[in-house]
Every structure is written in structure tokens, then in C-alpha cells.
Amino acid sequence: MRLFRSEEHVARWSEETGIPVGDVFSLDSLWRLAQLWFADRLSPDWRRRTVDEANALFAKSGLEGAFWRLVG
Amino acid sequence: MTVPTPQEIDAAVRLAIQEEFLLGRRPSVASVASTLGRDASDVDAAFDRLAAGRAVVLVQGTRDILMAAPFAGVQTDFRVRCGERSYYANCIWDAVGIPAMLAAAGRPSNASVETRCADCAAPLRLEVADGSLRAEPPDVVAHFAVPAAQWWADIVFT
């Protein structure tokens, strides 16, 4: 996951590299995702999330749709 | 004396890896074994199990840590400065994940993230202060090129 100066830069990068645009999202969504995803990382009880747990967390971060759907 | 289970050893090793990265060092089997007072062979096995469970990513054919999210074991385009220390992260999600993780643990978490626009290479800077994230310039966006279902086909490029 990379950062771009603006959506126009994502489009230009896609055109130049031939890599299709995936999902573009705001810093607010990025910050929510990071806060939820890494909240327990320094806990001794941390464990890898199940697919369902990860999908629920993406939805809670406002990142929905087929792009953000992990499959088991 | 109770013998720890492999799961208990893995949990201790995983946490020791995170804490050593937080000290600004790249953990190794030897350093983690020393920290935990365990035989290197136990830690070797734990590194292998953690890699199999995708809790860490090792450099192929070695037990050198490539990724232990949010930390990168190698230099990347995502530099995070927090207090006196600086770290490398694997991507922008992991970069802001470092202060997010610290805040959740009740530790000092104000931080800056330095990276570049993946298109034009212009320097971009994020600041995390008092639980908020701000960017300079302010209209930056994050982009994921690879759908979630395909991340582990090549976890280095997402």
C-alpha cells in the first residue's frame, strides 16, 4: 500500500506502469484501519485474525466491497 | 517446572521481536534467544512456525526477518520517527500502524512518517499527534493495488 500526492497521481502512475487502479481511500480510512488492525499487536494474547474477523474489521474501517473481501 | 508449549514459546518470541524492533534494532534468532533465555534451537523453531502462520515473513532460505508487521526488517520508503527512535515500515498502512499500536498499548505515540509519492517521488509527510493523523500536503491519498484476497500471492507488493 502506497501513498500518492493526490488521486490524479494515482491515475498517472497507473497509466505509466500499466498496473490497474485498485482502491483509493482517504487518510481518515487509513488511520481507522491502522488503529483497529494494530490495536492488539503488543498484547501477549495477540493472534492472527480469522478471515471473518478481518473482513469485519475492514468493514468497520469503512473499507467495503469485493476489493476488501478476504476469502478463506 | 512447567515446560512451555510451542504456542507459548511462539507468543513470547513474537512479542520479543516486536519489542526489539521498538528499541530500533532488527531482531535475530540469537538476540531473541538471549532476551528470552532460551536455546537458539527453540527460537529457530518458533521463527519457522511464526513464518508458517504468517506472523512474520522471513528472507527466503534464511531466518532473517523481512517483515514483522508493522515493522520492516530492511530499509524501505516508509520511515517512521517516534521520540528518539526511527523505524522502517513495510507500507503506509504499517507506517501509521506503528503509532497506532503504541497508542493502543498506552505508550508515547506521537510520530512522523516520511515517504514519497509513488508516482512523482515528491516527499510526503504524515504527522500523528495526540491521536490524530494529518498529512502534508493535505490532499494525499492511499492506494492499494492488489485486492485483499490476493495479498499473500506477493506480500511485498500490495
Examine the predicted complex and report whether its ipTM is higher than 0.85. yes
**B1 pLDDT exceeds 70?**
no
pTM: 0.94
State the sign of the Cα–Cα–Cα–Cα dihedral B123, B127, B133, B136.
Answer: negative
Q: Do A26 and B126 touch (CB under 8 A)?
A: no
Cα A68 to Cα B140: distance, rounded to the nearest angstrom? 21
Q: Do A25 and B142 touch (CB under 8 A)?
A: yes
**Burial classification of residue B75, based on how many CB atoms lie within 10 Å of its CB (0-12 exposed, 13-18 middle, 19 or more buried):** exposed
Closest CB to B119: pick one of A9, A46, A58.
A9
B105 to chain A: which residues are within 8 Å by CB? 42-43
Partner B contacted by A44 (CB < 8 A)? yes
Q: How far is A34 from chain B (nearest CA, A)?
A: 5
**B107 pLDDT exceeds 70?**
yes
> Can you give the pLDDT of all 72 residues of chain A as single tens digits?
999 999 999 999 999 999 999 999 999 999 999 999 999 999 999 998 999 999 999 999 988 888 998 887
Q: Do A27 and B142 touch (CB under 8 A)?
A: yes
User: Cβ(B22)–Cβ(B85) under 8 Å?
Assistant: yes
Cα B122 to Cα B118: distance, rounded to the nearest angstrom? 8
Give the residue among B29, B115, B149, B81 at the shortest CA–CA distance from A30: B115
User: Cβ(B82)–Cβ(B102) under 8 Å?
Assistant: yes
Radius of gyration of chain A (CA): 15
Cα B7 to Cα B63: distance, rounded to the nearest angstrom? 19
